[in-house]
Structure 1
Amino acid sequence: MKTPWYRGNRVDLLENGEAFFPAVFDAIRHAQREVILETFIVFEDKVGRELHEVLLGAARRGVQIDMLVDGFGSADLTPDYIHSLTAAGVRVRTFDPAVRVLGMRFNVLRRMHRKIVVVDGERAFVGGINYSADHLADFGPQAKQDYAVELVGPIVGEIHRFARSAIHGPTEGGAPHHHGLRAAWGRWRLQGGAGRGPASTVPAGGADALFVRRDNLQHRNDIERYYRIAIRRARKQVLIANAYFFPGYRLLHELRRAAKRGVEVKLILQGEPDVPIARTAASTLYDYLHGGGVKIYEYCERPLHGKVAVIDDEWSTVGSSNLDPLSLSLNLEANVVLRDKPFARHLRSRLDHLIEHSCRQVEVPAKQSVAWWAQLRGFVVFHFLRRFPVWAARLPTHAPKLELLAPAEAQPQAAGGTHGR
Structure 2
Amino acid sequence: MTDFVRGNHLTLLYNGADFFPALIAAIESARREIYLESYLFETDAVGIAVIEALMAAARRGVSVQMQIDGFGARNFPAGWQARLGDAGVRLLFFRPEVGRFSLNRQRLRRLHRKLTVVDGQVGFIGGINILSDVDSPELAPRYDYSVRVNGPLVAQMRETADRVWRHTAWVQLQPEWARTLPAPPKPMKAGQSIAKLAIRDNFRNRHAIEQEYLRAIETARDEIIIANAYFLPGYRFRHALLRAAERGVSVVLLLQGRVDHALLHYASRGFYHSFLKAGIEIYEYRKGFMHAKVAVVDRYWATVGSSNIDPFSLLLAREANIVVRDHDLAGALRDDLQRRLDHDSVAIAPDDLRRGRWYFRILPWISHGIVRVLMAISGYGGRRYLE
TM-score, length basis structure 2: 0.88
Which amino acid in the other structure matches residue 339 of structure 1? R
Provide the residue aligned with 2:69 in structure 1. Answer: 70
- In the alignment, the residues of structure 1 paired with residue 309 and residue 261 of structure 2 have an alpha-carbon distance, to the nearest angstrom, of 15
Q: Distance in 2 between matches of 1:339 and 1:139?
A: 37
In 2, are the aligned partners of 1:116 and 1:125 still within 8 Å (CA)?
yes
- Aligned match of 2:46: 47
Counterpart pick for 2:155 among 143, 154, 157: 157
5+ unaligned residues in a row in structure 1: which ranges? 177-190, 396-421
CA gap 1:107/1:142 in 2 versus in 1, 3 angstroms:
farther
- 1:90 corresponds in structure 2 to 89
> 2:21 — aligned with what?
22
Give RMSD over aligned pairs. Answer: 3.2
Deviates more, 1:165-174 or 1:244-253: 165-174
2:241 pairs with 1:255: yes
1:363 aligns with 2:349: yes
* CA deviation profile, 1:394-421 (whole Å, cap 9, x unmatched): 58xxxxxxxxxxxxxxxxxxxxxxxxxx
Residue 277 of structure 1 aligns with an amino acid whose one-letter code is L
Counterpart residue number, 1:414:
none
From 164, 167, 186, give the equivalent of 2:165: 167
**Aligned twin of 1:244:** 230
AA aligned to 1:12 is: T
Distance change (3 Å), C-alpha of 1:366 and 1:164: closer
Shift of 1:142: 7.2
- Preserved contact between residue 166 and residue 192 of structure 1 (Cα < 8 Å): no
Closer/same/farther in 2, CA of residues 371 and 58 from structure 1, 3 Å limit:
closer
Q: CA deviation at 1:275?
A: 2.1
Q: Taking structure 1 as reference, are residues 338 and 169 closer, same or farther at Cα in structure 2, changes over 3 Å only? A: same
Question: In structure 2, how many angstroms separate the alpha carbons of the residues matched to 1:137 and 1:246?
Answer: 24
**2:316 equivalent to 1:317:** no
SS at match of 2:258: coil
Q: Does 1:278 align with 2:276?
A: no
Q: Deviations over 1:260-292 (max 9, x none)?
A: 111100000011132233321111110111122
1:224 paired with 2:210, answer: yes
1: CA distance between counterparts of 2:331 and 2:81? 41
Q: 1:295 to 1:385 in 2, by over 3 A?
A: farther
SS of residue paired to 2:35:
strand
Instruction: Give CA deviations for 1:371-396 in whole Å, capped at 9, x if unaligned.
Output: 9999999899999999999986658x
- Aligned match for 2:201, one of 195, 201, 215: 215
What's the CA shift for 1:98?
2.2
Structure 2 counterpart SS, 1:19: helix
Note if contact 2:140-2:287 (Cα within 8 Å) is conserved in structure 1.
no
Q: Residue 163 of structure 1 aligns to which amino acid in structure 2?
A: A
- CA separation of 1:258/1:252 partners in 2, compared to 1, >3 Å: closer, same or farther? same
1:308-351 CA distance string (max 9 Å, x none): 00000110000000000100111111101000001101000000
Deviation at 1:144, TM superposition (A): 1.3
Q: Given the alignment of the two structures, is residue 58 of structure 1 paired with residue 57 of structure 2, yes or no?
A: yes
Q: Which of the pair has the greater relative contact order for Cα pairs under 8 Å at 6+ separation?
A: 1
